């Protein structure tokens, strides 16, 4: 270059430098974001791997799967007659979760609609805060409520010998999963564009017709996600059901039977087992099963949603 | 000069705005507007952005009430009856078809989009619904393009097709008045022409309020044209006169000949 290096040359150099710095910054940010995304997947797989690792030696070395899934005889500590029949635990979990959803779905979605569509301003905010407060109650407190309040109420109402039952646990689980359903359900309804509401109202639809014929179909996927997150919360909940369902290894025949869930069993027994023993490992098999149940629930949801989309 | 609403044989207006003032908070969107639309006529409403054209339509089907902070003074009459005094707003809305600037396909099939309003009104018979869907889609110049895929999602149509779907939907409950708010913004010129032809035919059955940014569109379609500016009605008259050499107001001449602002 013939021009002497002047002020303009320095400026140009600085601009090039700044552009390079910008590019580097961009790369770093991109890497961080990618790391966050990948790590979520890695963590889930890692958890599954570690649970499975503890379970595998027993799963392929001595556990009678027929007995595990087909028998209700759970005698993990017995010296003479050791049995690992998890049928009662599995059915206990399903019974409590199932009944909880019977209460929670109408309550949860039933609350999401009025909060999202029929209340405004301060009322709306107040309602949301109250519902979210429900989510902040620790599960041991729920267990306490089940033990001290619902227990005598159920005994009085149904003339039952004991109030620590499927019904008790289901009521608690329902109340615990309602806040999630309301929050996610309300988000799903809020995500429906206002233009849909206006278009429907301009055609003479009443508020309720708008909700039933336009909003619910439009928000279907989100509402389903809300329900399934509630199911996930209920299946995985431990402390409240441990305290409120009676901890009896029986196959439930009605809502007034005591049961024991998979989660409660793991929580109650893991601390007393010797590391590496069969009892220790069978609890990890239960953990793997729990993982599988959640996985199937999510997969089903995914397939159902895809089915809706294709139509 | 043409005077309207004269007793000697002039038709009774279908829609009347009387001394209409609308405020959003402190800002007035319409100031003392008096205007009417006769049966079987297309009333063009022109004016630059912010003139209050859309607000005017919203007062008629009472969707203004959905905007928080909107206040209305004056009267809006449909067949001589104040729409604000009707207890149930949806009863008014069922008599009026409304087409918004950007098409809103409801997230349901093409068929269900058009059958939505009749179903709400209690029409259940499949034959009658089928007939109505076909008639409305035909009137909106869309039937031939979608007749083989009525079960597809309405939201999957192209922009121009969706706008015609919106028009078909607005016709589905047999409205007495059809309001179009700049319907051709998202529509190609060919489709616009087809819709304009459809509107000329529809005029035989209903009154049409046509809000448009395209002054030439008003010139092509409207029987009479109203010019709004900053919330005030500058003038209303026969379209030929408004677009001719001698509108009543100089500002009208400037606006329709593109000498504005």
Q: For residue B3, what pLDDT is reported?
A: 44
Over 50: is that where the pLDDT of B6 sits?
Answer: no
Chain A closest CA to B119's CA: distance in Å?
10
How much is the pLDDT for A111? 93
The count of C-alpha atoms lying within 13 angstroms of the C-alpha of A299, restricted to the half-sphere facing its C-beta, is: 6
| DSSP per residue, A58-84 | HHTTT--HHHHHH---EETT-SSS-EE
For chain B, give the percent of residues with pLDDT over 90: 49
Which of A123, A202, A212, A218 to substitute to test the interface with B, most B CBs within 10 Å? A202
Helices A87-117 and A262-269 meet at what angle, rounded to 10? 120
Is the pTM here over 0.90, yes or no?
no
Q: Pick B108's closest partner by Cβ from A203, A205, A217.
A: A217
Does the pLDDT at position B49 exceed 70? yes
| Cβ–Cβ gap A203/B120 under 8 Å | yes
Contact at CB, B90 and A199, closer than 8 angstroms: no
Nearest to A200 among B106, B166, B173 (CB): B106
pLDDT at A178 over 50: yes
Residue B1 has pLDDT above 50, yes or no: no
B-side interface with A, Cβ within 8 Å?
Answer: 61, 63, 66, 90-94, 96, 98, 100, 102, 104, 106-108, 116-117, 119-121, 166, 169-170, 172-173
* Nearest-10 Cα torsion for B168, B172, B178, B184: -10
Tokens of B68: 């928080």
- Write out pLDDT tens, residues A226-236: 898 889 889 98
Copy the structure tokens of residue A83. 């049995």
A201 CB within 8 Å of a chain B CB? yes
Whole-number pLDDT of residue A310: 52
Residue range B123-153, pLDDT digits in tens:
888 999 999 999 999 988 889 999 999 998 8
- Checking ipTM against 0.95, whether it exceeds it is no
Task: Using only the alpha carbons of chain B, give its radius of gyration.
Answer: 18
Each residue of A41-56: pLDDT tens digit? Answer: 999 899 999 999 999 9
| Cβ–Cβ gap A203/B66 under 8 Å | no
Q: Which of chain B's residues have a Cβ under 8 Å away from the Cβ of A214?
A: 106-108
Residue contact A203–B63, C-beta within 8 A: no
Please write the tens of the pLDDT for every residue from B55-106. 999 999 898 888 888 899 999 999 988 998 888 888 899 899 999 888 888 8
Interchain contact A217–B (C-beta under 8 A)? yes
Q: Is B120 within 8 Å of A209 when comparing Cβ atoms? A: yes
B221-241 per-position pLDDT tens digit? 999 999 999 999 999 999 988
Contact B116 A218 (CB under 8 A): no
- Indicate the pLDDT class of residue B4, thresholds 50, 70 and 90: very low
Tell me if A204 and B100 make a contact (CB, 8 A cut-off). Answer: no
What percentage of chain B carries pLDDT values higher than 70? 95
Instruction: Report, as an integer, the average pLDDT of A191-202.
Output: 88
DSSP annotation of B2 reads: -
Paired tokens of A121: 């301003």
Candidates A192, A193, A203, partner chain B, best to mutate (most B CBs within 10 A)? A203
């Amino acid at each position: 270059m013939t021009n002497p290096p002047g002020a303009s040359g320095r400026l140009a150099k600085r601009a090039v430098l700044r552009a390079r710095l910008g590019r580097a910054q961009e790369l770093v940010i991109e890497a961080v974001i990618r790391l966050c995304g990948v790590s979520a997947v890695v963590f889930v797989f890692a958890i599954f791997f570690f649970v499975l690792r503890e379970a595998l030696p027993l799963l392929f070395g001595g556990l009678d799967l027929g007995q595990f899934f087909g028998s209700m005889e759970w005698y993990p500590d017995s010296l003479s007659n050791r049995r690992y029949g998890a049928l009662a635990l599995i059915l206990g979990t399903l019974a409590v979760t199932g009944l909880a959803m019977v209460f929670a779905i109408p309550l949860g979605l039933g609350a999401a609609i009025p909060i999202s569509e029929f209340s405004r301003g301060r009322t709306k905010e107040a309602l949301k805060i109250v519902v979210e407060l429900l989510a902040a109650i620790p599960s041991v407190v729920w267990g306490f409520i089940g033990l001290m309040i619902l227990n005598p109420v159920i005994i009085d109402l149904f003339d039952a010998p004991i109030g620590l039952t499927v019904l008790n646990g289901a009521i608690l689980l329902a109340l615990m999963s309602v806040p999630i359903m309301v929050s996610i359900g309300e988000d799903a309804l809020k995500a429906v564009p206002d233009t849909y509401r206006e278009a429907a109202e301009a055609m003479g639809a009443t508020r309720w017709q708008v909700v039933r014929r336009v909003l619910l179909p439009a928000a279907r996927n989100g509402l389903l996600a809300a329900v399934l997150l509630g199911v996930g919360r209920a299946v995985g909940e431990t402390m409240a059901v441990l305290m409120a369902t009676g901890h009896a290894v029986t196959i439930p025949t009605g809502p007034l039977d005591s049961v024991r869930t998979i989660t409660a069993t793991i929580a109650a027994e893991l601390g007393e087992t010797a590391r590496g023993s069969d009892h220790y490992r069978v609890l990890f098999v239960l953990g793997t099963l729990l993982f599988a149940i959640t996985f199937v629930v999510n997969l089903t949801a995914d397939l159902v949603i895809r089915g809706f989309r294709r139509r | 000069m043409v005077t309207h609403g004269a007793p000697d044989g002039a038709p009774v207006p279908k829609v009347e705005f009387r001394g209409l003032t609308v405020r959003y908070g402190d800002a007035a969107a319409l100031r003392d507007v008096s205007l009417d639309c006769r049966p079987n006529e297309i009333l063009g409403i022109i004016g630059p952005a912010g003139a209050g054209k859309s607000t005017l339509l919203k007062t008629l089907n009472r969707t203004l009430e959905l905007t928080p902070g909107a206040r209305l003074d004056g009267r809006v009459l449909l067949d001589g009856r104040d729409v604000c005094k009707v207890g149930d707003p949806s009863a008014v809305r069922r008599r009026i078809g409304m087409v918004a600037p950007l098409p809103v396909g409801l997230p349901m099939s093409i068929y269900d989009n058009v059958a939505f309003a009749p179903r709400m009104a209690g029409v259940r018979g499949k034959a009658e619904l089928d007939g109505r869907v076909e008639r409305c889609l035909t009137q909106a110049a869309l039937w031939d393009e979608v007749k083989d895929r009525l079960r597809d999602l309405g939201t999957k149509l192209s922009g121009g097709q969706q706008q015609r779907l919106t028009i078909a939907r607005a016709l589905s409950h047999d409205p007495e008045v059809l309001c179009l708010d700049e319907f051709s913004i998202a529509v190609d010129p060919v489709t616009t022409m087809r819709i304009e032809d459809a509107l000329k035919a529809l005029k035989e059955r209903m009154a049409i309020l046509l809000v448009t940014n395209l002054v030439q569109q008003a010139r092509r379609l409207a029987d009479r044209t109203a010019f709004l500016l900053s919330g005030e009605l500058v003038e209303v008259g026969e379209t030929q006169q408004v677009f001719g050499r001698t509108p009543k107001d100089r500002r009208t001449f400037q606006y329709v000949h593109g000498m504005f602002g």
